[in-house]
Structure 1
Amino acid sequence: MNARTVKFGIGLLAAATLGACASAVAPSSEGSAPPQLSARVQALVDANRSYPRWADFPPAPTGLPSDVEIAAAVASQRAEQAALTRDVAAIDWSLEDPEAFAAATRERVDQTRVAPITQQTRETLDAWAEALRERGRAPPPIRRRQ
């Protein structure tokens, strides 16, 4: 299919869709609203035609911090950042013996009691998930009389 045919098809589809929408929205004489309802709707539209006005918007916020207060807050945060940087730089980040650290960590983990749910193997969890999928499967269709 070339691009011209595709564009023509899309245009035809769009025109048909818009035509269907227009016919669905177009007022018909047999199903139109009563005249008194139409007059009421028109009166409401006319009464609210100028809404919103600038007077209806809230005023600009007041009580915003001044430039001096903002500068003081920024200086305070920079001082806190410098103190934190000094504290982090003072930490000794080197491990003297990585194997000893790993062994100590393994020992701490082995001493921790494990909840029974975490002892399930992957195969047990996969079997449980498959059983749930089977329970959620729709039953076979009912044979109709022939």
Structure 2
Amino acid sequence: MRVVIQKSLESSVIIDKQMVGEIDKGFVLLVGVTHEDTQADAEYCARKIAKMRLFEDENDKMNLSLAEVEGQILSISQFTLFANTKKGNRPSYTEAARPELAEELYDYFNEQLRGHGFEVETGRFGAMMQVSILNDGPVTVLIDSKNP
């Protein structure tokens, strides 16, 4: 499982011209699932995100977690995180999990985050979405459960 974390001041997701999720300060998570992923991968990523210290303390050091700043999460499924670009100019997505597995693990991942006490907004799995992210910093971090 790969998760791109973007520290955000405010973000939203629109589907068919309707806002379906929005957050103020927090994390936008772009979540990709590969066919080898299991619930253990989702648990690992959720645990890392819950403890990730990307917010500044009183000394301007990134030393505070999402919980400590009472932040929110906007989680977006993103199969393109497993794009293979080695051959040609059109990416291959064969490393991305089949939709039925990916959706199950994506939902499980979001439930794990909620279990850590976070408010989690989402897009809609498999939908075309317009995601607006006001990246704070900018701060962007990649978590890969297969390459910790």
TM normalised by structure 1 equals 0.17
Higher fraction of helix = 1
Higher fraction of strand = 2
* Larger Cα-atom Rg: 1
Indicate the structure whose relative CO is greater, using CA pairs within 8 Å and at least 6 residues apart: 2
TM normalised by structure 2 equals 0.17
